[in-house]
Structure 1
Amino acid sequence: MVERQKQIGRDRVSRLVSWGHWFAFINGLLAIIVGYRYLDTIGLPESFIGWGYLVISTIGHFSFLAFMVYLVFIFPITLLLPYSRILRGYAATVATLSLCLLLYDTVIYDDYGLHLSPFVFDLAWADLNALLRGTSYIITPLAILVIELTLANFLWKRVEKIRKRNVGNKVVVLVGICFVASHLIHIWGDAADVTEITHFDDAYPLSYPATAKSLMESYGIEGSRDHRSQTPPKASLQYPLSPMQCTADSLPNILVIAVDSLRADLVDESTMPFLSSYAQQNMNFTKHLSGGNQFNSGMFSLLYALQGSYSNAVDLHYQSPVLTQELAAKGYDLGLFTTQDTLPAPLAIFDDFERVDAEHINSYAISDLQSIANWQQWTGSASQPWFSLLNLKSPDSYDTPIGFLGIKTVQSSSKLKPAQKVLFNQYRQSLNFIDKQIESVVNNLPKGTMVVITGVNGKMFTSNSDEERVNLSPDSVRVPMIIHWPNEESAKQIKYRTTHNGLVPAILTQTLGCTNPASDYSSDQSLMQPSDKTWVYVGDHRIFAIYQESEITVIDRHGKYRIYDSEYHKRLKKKLSAPELVEVMREGRRLYNH
């Protein structure tokens, strides 16, 4: 009798488990229906490869999410309370909450381009009225609950018939194949940079597709410079918002000297005497911020004039910056002078340039000297007008040529650790070397040349590249911005805050006579006028900081955030400043087609 009771109990649990598996599978299908809203935001694929990958990855991903919800929240209750009525009601409630959460995530993703996380949840909660319009947020959960209860009861009554058909194993195999195949295809797509596949990387919540690049790098395998497919995907980014209207009267030569890792606070008389004096004689923006702490994010903001959240836009793998497009249209010769190991991201950023690379073997200082020689040769033979971007890299690696006689060491104004003191003074030697090279370039320019001298990014004193990559302190992003306008008396010290995003509007309006508002192609106003924004976005789409008047908020790709004081010294125990951050997220979606 006891054995029979145990057997009845085991049969009941077995039936409940079987019911739970089918309930999870069908909820995975419902999640796919809800998840279609993500595709309204990012756009549908236009190739068989894209559609094939999208179908199998969608089936695999949402089925996996549904099974995880079942495994964590429903399966334990099946063992603890093996009573069908209780379990059906409980499972329907869990499924309803899960689908509502997914539906809410689609709304947030459409508005901000981000999935739910601690940061985004706080932000969305503050902006709840704007996100949830009408009464659908009341009616929809009730409708989903009715559907879930109906589904739970329907399956319970038919679970035995379904079990007898023995289709469960086939469904498991199908879902498993889709899940594994989607990751294998993504490994190939990531290695070959097939945008029809990688375009969907961030589309779904909790999606972490397998990649191949780290494996390739560990074996020393390098991809080609340009993996772009011949046919660009359908445009999802409207950049610029309207056609450019530019009518320039005169077309001066333009030289932009962009120095990697050039801190603003060390452009002084003892370290960089020429540049310090040049800044006093021209337009010097004393509170200037780069768009990022790395080469890619800094150069992206300098040339595209967009905040770093756009740096993963697939369109920009095929579309060069508005600035270089307009310069080319006006007949400018465009030349880029950098080292051969400089790889752009996004890939189209240097497409309009004639690129002249210096060889890089052991010393960036030697490479910089070669870049300058290449620049001198190019400008000597270029037809006017020309636009040249001279990228110097020595300070990033604290490099100077062998035998360089530099400057005496000094005490840092800030407290440094012993190892940092060594790096600080070696960095100053490198800056002094670069200062002499800038002097030789500027003093031999043709008359009437517009000159822009700035840092691609700032510098913190560390040999740890991982620490340097995630540090978004003012030391890493405060850079000089010095502009010489030809044929003008422009000695002026600008005290308001400016960013790299403001350089392109300044050149297009002041030099090329463009009448479009800066908002058509930039995330900021021209350098020539104070910005009406109370915040600055610094970083890329993975980790970024929001600089405000008295605090700095750092957010990573998982939505974790920390708030520091204005000098990055002290971590503050406070909540996000929601109104400004809502503006940040909206700016990050403003140029996308909806």
Structure 2
Amino acid sequence: MILAETPRRKLVTQLVNWGHWFALLNIVIAVTIAAIYILNSPAPGSPIGTFYLFTNWISHIGFLTFFGFVILILPLCYLVPNAKAVKILSSVLAAFALALLAFDALLYNKYGVHLSLNSAQLIRNETQTAIAQFGWQQWGFLLLLFTVWLSFQLIVANALWQRISRLQKRKLGLPISIFFVSCFVISHALHVWADANLYQPIVQQDNMFPLSYPATAKTLMARYSLLDIEDYQQRKALQFNQTIKGIAYPAEPVYCSVNTSNKVLLLSVIEGEMPSAIAGLSKFENHYQLQTSVDSGITTILYGLPELYHGALQNYSPLLLQLPNSMGLQVSLYLKDTNNRRLSAYQKDWQNFKQALFDSSSNLSIGFVQAQQISELLSSEVLAEYRVIVSNLDDQSALNNPLFTNVTINRSMGSLEDIAPTALNLLGCAAKSQAYSTGHSLTQKSNLNYIVSTQGNKVLLLTDKQRIEIMNNGNVRVFDLKTGDEVFSQVDPNILSQGIKHLSRFSAKRANKPF
């Protein structure tokens, strides 16, 4: 007796075949969207790292998309007896999932974090701010954009359904499956090797893609004497890659106006004991010194960037000096010993620096002075005329290093990287500090509740309670901010990722033309 295939079984077979081709097309789209993660992350810097990036990109995004097909769309093929309904529901799910991936990619691009419970507070704050600024045009545009995207999915779903018999004859399923499985196996095998050998071009990519948990085998390798776990921990604690092949300074063009009547005075003690109090100035206690030397502190104040970039800044003029000068403001700099030719146009000797200050002829005066010279400069007339900020660079042993100022501080914490944005803001420049500095203006309120910088061979992240030291390979140590004692507590990886992303904003594959 010949058993004919029932119409229902035939429909299910066609829907499953259609679903696999629909999933493949959306894998291609998802992989394309995921290129945003790659374009906004530092390059691996080695052929092996680049090869791993390619295999991980294809396999991980392909796996996520196919997994979504298996749990969301494949059951519809068996449970819903109507082909049209399956195509519509599948298109809606695919459109929504890919829109979510695009949102996560944009979130990673801006903040260095992925969608998760840990990033929920950040997303809620940003969403509230964005929605408050939305009008009906913006909502209409978003609705139109999603409608177009959903229409594309519906058109594709219907086109594949009409051509399913023709596509099945091509016998492409096996080669495509072998390609994705090979990429998956190769990427995880490379990561096991890289993790055991602390190979930075691969390890640094661990948090690039959403829901990424690359394979490691340290415990297994140690059990079979293939890895000395103690030696591994020692090498991990010591390894840090500070190589900057190029710098984008500023990260984007800076446009702003300035107020020619505003006057700012920045003083930094580079020798001698800082006074415990300065008449006419208030003390900002929560200011931190993260630099390892006086020279490093000087560079940080002038450029607003951490030690990580100092070696690449030699051929660039500080925007703190160049921008006001280009707008006709008088800028004077007192720095006794320097080999930076980019500063010579602004330098004055001690007498001329004092005279410009006492005459109020200088709009921006920056002096790196001895402690006893502070009182010589801060007369009542100068304090009345200038917005003053005094910092201390001489004591490198103290993490907490208060500022003295007659400016209203609106930040809970600060560092030397904040001084350049603060000075430009006081001169009337409203440009975003993210374009030229890793710091923020101390006069402006911010939702950020941490400071991130680099110190020697490590990244430092300071919260209101902790000092977190991060090696470039991901090794983390946590200390109590007040006592300095090491504590063993969990650290939010999203904050660490956001901090690293914030620091790496000025890195570039090739150095820009000197500014």
TM-score range, shorter-chain basis? Answer: 0.5 to 0.7
- In structure 2, the partner of 1:350 is none
- In structure 2, the partner of 1:502 is 415
Q: What CA distance in whole angstroms lies between the structure 2 residues aligned with 1:55 and 1:170?
A: 18
Paired letter, 1:173:
I
Q: Counterparts in 2 of 1:66-85, with a 5 A limit?
A: 66-85=65-84
2:97 aligned with 1:98, yes or no?
yes
- In structure 1, the partner of 2:11 is 12
2:176 aligned with 1:171, yes or no?
yes
Paired letter, 1:30:
I
SS in 2 for 1:223: helix
Q: Counterparts in 2 of 1:477-496, with a 5 A limit?
A: 480-481=400-401
Q: What CA distance in whole angstroms lies between the structure 2 residues aligned with 1:545 and 1:210?
A: 30
Paired letter, 2:235:
G
Deviations 1:259-290 (CA, angstroms, capped at 9, x unpaired)? xxxxxxxxxxxxxxxxxxx9689999574266
Deviations 1:483-537 (CA, angstroms, capped at 9, x unpaired)? 8xxxxxx9x9999687774346679999xxxxx9995545145xxxx64335552
Q: Counterparts in 2 of 1:30-45, with a 5 A limit?
A: 30-42=29-41
Given the superposition, is the C-alpha separation of residues 316 and 449 from structure 1 closer, same or farther in structure 2, using an over 3 Å criterion? closer
Given the superposition, is the C-alpha separation of residues 504 and 95 from structure 1 closer, same or farther in structure 2, using an over 3 Å criterion? closer
Q: Report deviation, 1:223.
A: 2.1
Q: Counterparts in 2 of 1:18-167, with a 5 A limit?
A: 18-42=17-41, 48-117=47-116, 118-128=120-130, 136-167=141-172
Q: What CA distance in whole angstroms lies between the structure 2 residues aligned with 1:304 and 1:61?
A: 43
- In structure 2, the partner of 1:330 is 338
> Number of matched residues?
364
Q: What CA distance in whole angstroms lies between the structure 1 residues aligned with 2:88 and 2:197?
A: 48
Paired letter, 1:149:
L
CA contact (8 A) 2:286 2:402 kept: no
Q: What CA distance in whole angstroms lies between the structure 2 residues aligned with 1:168 and 1:219?
A: 46
Where structure 1 has 5 or more consecutive residues not aligned to the other structure, the ranges are 243-247, 257-277, 292-297, 308-312, 333-384, 387-447, 456-479, 484-489, 511-515, 548-580
2:449 aligned with 1:537, yes or no?
yes
Given the superposition, is the C-alpha separation of residues 71 and 47 from structure 1 closer, same or farther in structure 2, using an over 3 Å criterion? same
Q: What CA distance in whole angstroms lies between the structure 2 residues aligned with 1:37 and 1:11?
A: 40
CA contact (8 A) 1:539 1:545 kept: yes
Paired letter, 2:121:
F
Q: What CA distance in whole angstroms lies between the structure 2 residues aligned with 1:453 and 1:196?
A: 33
SS in 1 for 2:395: strand
Where structure 2 has 5 or more consecutive residues not aligned to the other structure, the ranges are 255-265, 319-334, 341-368, 371-391, 424-428, 454-458, 465-494, 509-515
Q: Counterparts in 2 of 1:293-304, with a 5 A limit?
A: none
Greater shift in the superposed pair: 57-66 or 210-219: 210-219
Q: Report deviation, 1:228.
A: 3.8
CA contact (8 A) 2:60 2:212 kept: yes
Q: Report deviation, 1:28.
A: 0.6
CA-based RMSD: 5.8
Q: What CA distance in whole angstroms lies between the structure 2 residues aligned with 1:190 and 1:304?
A: 35
- In structure 1, the partner of 2:209 is 204
Given the superposition, is the C-alpha separation of residues 193 and 11 from structure 1 closer, same or farther in structure 2, using an over 3 Å criterion? same
Correspondent of 1:288 among 279, 286, 289: 286
Given the superposition, is the C-alpha separation of residues 450 and 73 from structure 1 closer, same or farther in structure 2, using an over 3 Å criterion? same
Paired letter, 2:25:
I
Deviations 1:522-572 (CA, angstroms, capped at 9, x unpaired)? 5145xxxx643355522669998987xxxxxxxxxxxxxxxxxxxxxxxxx
CA contact (8 A) 2:248 2:506 kept: yes
Given the superposition, is the C-alpha separation of residues 532 and 142 from structure 1 closer, same or farther in structure 2, using an over 3 Å criterion? closer
Paired letter, 1:537:
N
Deviations 1:233-267 (CA, angstroms, capped at 9, x unpaired)? 5546758999xxxxx999944799xxxxxxxxxxx
Q: Report deviation, 1:70.
A: 0.9
Q: Report deviation, 1:21.
A: 2.0
Paired letter, 1:330:
T
Paired letter, 2:449:
Y
TM-score by length of 2: 0.53
Q: Report deviation, 1:89.
A: 1.2
Q: Report deviation, 1:320.
A: 5.9
Q: What CA distance in whole angstroms lies between the structure 2 residues aligned with 1:150 and 1:240?
A: 40
Q: What CA distance in whole angstroms lies between the structure 1 residues aligned with 2:298 and 2:267?
A: 24
CA contact (8 A) 1:304 1:522 kept: no
TM-score by length of 1: 0.47
Given the superposition, is the C-alpha separation of residues 238 and 176 from structure 1 closer, same or farther in structure 2, using an over 3 Å criterion? farther
Deviations 1:151-209 (CA, angstroms, capped at 9, x unpaired)? 21222233334334432122122111112222222344445555543454433322333
